[in-house]
Amino acid sequence: MLPASRFVRLPSFAVEGERSVTFPDAFVAAGVATGVKKRGKLDLGILCSRRPTVSAATFTSNAAAAAPVRLTRETGACDRLQAVVVNAGNANACTGKDGLADAARMRLLTAQHLRLPVETVAVASTGVIGAPLEMGKIEPGIAAAAATLKPGGGEHFSQAIRTTDSFPKRGALELHLAEGVVRLGAAAKGCGMISPHMATMLCFVTCDAAVSVEDWRAMLIDAVERSFNRITVDGQESTNDMVVGMANGASAVRLGAAGLGQLAEALEALLLSLAVAMVADGEGATKAVRLTVDGARDAAEAERVARAVADSPLVKTAFFGCDANWGRVVQAAGQALGGDGATAGRKTAAAAMDVLYEDIPVVRGGRPVPLGDGAEERLADIMAQHEIDLHVAVDGGSASTTIYFSDLTHDYVTLNAEYTT
């Protein structure tokens, strides 16, 4: 899967397929250039199932959610979405009632062209915040995309949803199960959790297995929770994040309990590969770090510690500098454990903290571990890797969590300081 990451394990019953949302049977897609993006870049895509589906969707929890998020979440049939229309280059966020009307118009036109009920069409947008959609370009774009839908259209669709991503994020798996062969496909975009004028995290998932809407929803939400909800580039949640998954049963393979478990496992691997790709492609990023926190008193404490370390600019710059600066890891974890006004904290916890980079312990029981023969060189090698395992053990319980994060670099500052409105 793209990119090759040792953080992702392909299930034994899965083989990679043509990396496309149209890899599963009876899905069609298209991507066109409307002129919203410059230089003729593809910027509007439609993805559609030729058959009715079961579906599920997750959305940003940002209170400044964009118009397409609000429209799809609040007036859509999220359990039987059959098509999505996506535009890139304009997020249709902070656009008020006119923005909601534009999103509804995008949905209506797409539904009319596809001859689907409006509520079965999801709308997603990504790009500049606060600018009105250029509907004079979007409307003919929808017509053009609807007219060019085809089984091999997944690649154009994937290109059309990109903004500042340096490479397309898509994947597909063919699953050889006892019940038969089913396929999964996915296309995603995102390289900051957000860079509000030109980014967002979107993902569209297709599947041709025959599954119930309850099973599909449960496995999609679970897979999102274990993939996209476990990454951070800069701690910033977009106004436009959306994941839509559609399963159309076109394989005619109905899954039993074992097959459902395998599909869930494969779905998680697929989404995790795309999520890790977003971290690796994080704005300015040179490294992806997998942080495991364990020994926490409860899940909330594990999460606080993980986010505190993963979002600490001091920890992130140290990784950029290839410096195993464990003092910053202990400080950030200690800050999270100390709590704030809203969360009850601990008075002292440093005494029982362990920190490891890969297999090298650098802190045990809150104190530095003298580096033995060769350990210094091994640590330097580890810090030069593109993917690094970081392990923080606190004490007091058995709750654990894992999170993936990128480093903080000059290129991040350049990209975000020099990008002007």
Q: Which is nearer to a second copy, 157 or 320 (CB)?
A: 320
> Is the preceding peptide bond at 151 cis, omega within 30 degrees of 0?
no
Pairing between strand 169-177 and 202-207? unpaired
Quick one: tokens of 325?
A: 């600066």
Alpha carbon of 354 to those of 15, 269, 275, 301: distances in Å?
38, 29, 27, 16
- The reply to whether 200 belongs to the active site is yes
Nearest CB to a second copy, comparing residues 166 and 420: 420
Q: Which two tokens stand for residue 243?
A: 């994941």
Picking from 303, 14, 40, 358, the residue whose alpha carbon sits closest to that of residue 184 is 14
How many Å apart are CA 361 and CA 373, to the nearest integer?
Answer: 13
For residue 185, what are its two tokens? 């496909």
Report the residue number, 52 or 321, with the smaller CB distance to a second copy: 321
Residue 90's nearest CA partner among 205, 239, 229, 235 is 239
| Rounded Cα distance, 108 and 103, in Å | 9
Closer CB to a second copy, 143 or 375, in the complex: 375
Q: For residue 189, what are the CA distances in angstroms to 162, 235, 240, 346, 394?
A: 6, 17, 12, 39, 34
Q: In whole angstroms, how large is the CA radius of gyration of the chain?
A: 22
Determine contact, residues 277/3, Cβ cutoff 8 Å. Answer: yes
Pick between residue 65 and residue 149 the one whose CB is nearest to a second copy.
65
d(CA 398, CA 354): 14
**Nearer Cβ to a second copy, position 257 or 417?**
417
DSSP string, 10-62: --TTEEE--SSTTSSTTEEEEEE--SSSSTT---EEEEEESS--EEEEEE---
Tell me the closest approach of the beta carbon of residue 362 to a second copy, in angstroms.
Answer: 9
Q: How far is the CB of 289 from a second copy (least distance, A)?
A: 14
Report helix, strand or coil for 237: coil
Q: Give me the least distance between CB of 164 and a second copy, in Å please.
A: 13
Nearer to a second copy, 50 or 297 (CB): 297
Of 321, 333, 322, the residue nearest 403 (C-alpha): 333
**Phi and psi at residue 394, to the nearest 5°:** -100, -175
| Identified catalytic residue from 60, 95, 200, 232 | 200
How many helices and strands in the chain, by DSSP H and E?
11, 17
Smallest distance from a second copy to CB 329, Å: 9
List, in order, residues 6 or more apart from 75 with CB less than 8 Å away.
Answer: 119
Minimal distance, residue 305 CB to a second copy, in Å: 10
Q: How far is the CB of 301 from a second copy (least distance, A)?
A: 10
Nearer to a second copy, 212 or 348 (CB): 348
- Cα separation of 404 and 391, whole Å? 12
The set of catalytic residues is 200
